[in-house]
Amino acid sequence: MIELQNIHKSYITQYTSLHVLRGINLSIENGEMISIMGASGSGKSTLLNVLGLLDRFDEGKYCIDGISTNGLTMQQRAYYRNKLLGFVFQSSNLIAYKNLVENVALPLYYRGISRKQRNILAIEQLDMLGLKDWATHFPNELSGGQKQRVAIARALIAKPSLILADEPTGQLDSSTAIEVINLLKEINKKGTTMIIVTHEIGIAQQTNRIIKITDGQIE
Ligand code: ADP
Ligand code: MG
């Protein structure tokens, strides 16, 4: 599913250059559930953004699902991002003025699916995650755990092969965090590959493999 070879990335501003990823090598098999750990500022989000085709790297090779990403145009990157990937972030990033159906349906809009069909699929997805009764409610009416559930529904709606989650439980209390990680585990069991950034060892221990980043490399 994922093959990273000797990935380097620096952030360069006018006066400084910060070499964050210093030769990352990583293979992830289809169906795996892995966690990425490391100190704050060690480059976890940077790596996830590279994996998610959200950001570029300076050196190395990155193949996803057999596709070499090195030579892709911006449009091609967006195409593969929509086709293959789902994202979950620390704060659920739901759109406040859209109800849950509209929030969850959003990724389908970019695939040119009709509004009627989008709504049917979104309600189905909310139902699968136990949120059907909330379909026409707005994000500010939900608890933190429910919001993350909606964010996961939105990540799932376009049936991605891979879900990338950046500290998905970072703003939740520990019992809600366990509920969210259990949900991600269930989704993984149904076949979706999962990469989770977390600094909570209890969360990481729920995954098949823990990867630790130190000094820009995998320890
Ligand atoms: P983590 O997610 O492990 O906490 P990040 O990947 O967010 O770490 O950041 C790694 C380092 O890169 C940090 O020192 C951070 O300040 C810096 N950094 C992250 N994003 C940018 C950016 N867009 N421009 C400049 N520096 C950045
Ligand atoms: Mg981060």
State the distance between the two ends of the chain, measured CA to CA, in whole angstroms.
Answer: 21
Q: Which atom of ligand 1 is nearest to the CA of 167?
A: 2
In this prediction, residue 109 has a pLDDT band, given cuts at 50, 70 and 90, of confident
What are the pocket residues of ligand 1 if the criterion is a CB atom closer than 6 Å to any ligand atom? 11, 18, 20, 38, 40-46
In the block, tokens 């965090």 appear at 177
Nearest CA to ligand 1 atom 1: 41
Could you give the residue ranges of the DSSP H alpha helices within the chain?
A: 44-51, 74-84, 100-109, 115-128, 144-156, 174-189, 201-204
77 CA → ligand 1 middle, Å: 22
Nearest CA to ligand 1 atom 15: 41
**Is the predicted pLDDT of residue 166 greater than 90, yes or no?**
yes
Nearest CA to ligand 1 atom 16: 41
Cβ atoms of 184 and 34 closer than 8 Å? no
**Is the predicted pLDDT of residue 69 greater than 90, yes or no?**
yes
Half-sphere exposure of residue 171: CA atoms within 13 angstroms, side-chain side: 14
**Is the predicted pLDDT of residue 111 greater than 90, yes or no?**
no
**Is the predicted pLDDT of residue 46 greater than 90, yes or no?**
yes
Nearest CA to ligand 1 atom 17: 41
pTM for this structure? 0.93
Structure tokens at 174: 């520990």
189 CA → ligand 2 middle, Å: 26
129 CA → ligand 2 middle, Å: 26
Q: Which atom of ligand 1 is nearest to the CA of 48?
A: 6
Which domains, ranges and CATH numbers included, belong to the chain? 31-57+74-218 (3.40.50.300)
135 CA → ligand 1 middle, Å: 36
- The conformation of residue 139, written as its DSSP 8-state character, comes to G
Q: Which atom of ligand 1 is nearest to the CA of 46?
A: 6
Mean of all residue pLDDT scores within the chain = 95
Nearest C-alpha neighbor of 30 from the set 188, 206, 152? 188
161 CA → ligand 1 middle, Å: 26
pLDDT of residue 183: 93
57 CA → ligand 1 middle, Å: 13
Ligand in nearest proximity to the CA of 19: 1
In this prediction, residue 78 has a pLDDT band, given cuts at 50, 70 and 90, of very high
> How many residues would you count in the chain?
219
Task: Provide mean pLDDT across the span 123-133.
Answer: 93
Nearest C-alpha neighbor of 134 from the set 101, 96, 172? 101
Task: Provide mean pLDDT across the span 146-171.
Answer: 94
Predicted ipTM beyond 0.90: yes
